[in-house]
Amino acid sequence: MYQEKLDKFKNVENLAGKAWGHAMAIDLLSKADINDCSIECFHYQQMMELFFKHLLETQSQFGSYSRSHKLQKLLEELISSTKFTTDKTKYFMALQVITVCAEEYRVNFLIDCEGYKQSVSVCDHLLAELIEFNEASVSPYFLFF
């Protein structure tokens, strides 16, 4: 499912290509018989982070992004640095839950799977908006060639 959404970036050697790799991992893990959803959460957070950073790199004036791993901060950065618009209040809590779950994965593997799954259902709408923004935008970088 996720690798299809990011199929345009399949095996591309950039941030979006790495996001596709995490999307593929999510899809594989969703088919596995694993009770602990923490590894899936880790890959979901990485997929979103790398896709945010891809958009910041290709759509912002200076092609740069912060070193933050916090998804809600990256959304703020994307909104302020590009032409992307959305109702960020719909997504902040879900993005924060996913960020915290991914941080917990690195520490002790015990996360709130139900909270994670609810946050994913919210963030999937944001992912659709981000993909649409990417497809509708022409990178200023490409205007010079």
Question: What is the domain partition of the chain in residue ranges?
Answer: 36-140
Task: Determine whether 59 is exposed, middle or buried from the number of CB atoms within 10 Å of its CB (0-12, 13-18, 19+).
Answer: buried
What's residue 110's pLDDT? 66
pLDDT one digit per residue (tens) for the chain, 145 residues: 998 999 999 989 999 999 999 999 999 998 888 777 888 999 999 999 999 999 999 999 888 898 989 999 999 999 999 999 999 999 999 999 999 888 777 676 667 788 889 999 999 999 999 999 999 875 554 444 4
Determine contact, residues 145/23, Cβ cutoff 8 Å.
Answer: no
Residue 109, phi-psi category: left (phi > 0), alpha (psi -120 to 50), beta (remainder): left
What's residue 6's pLDDT? 93
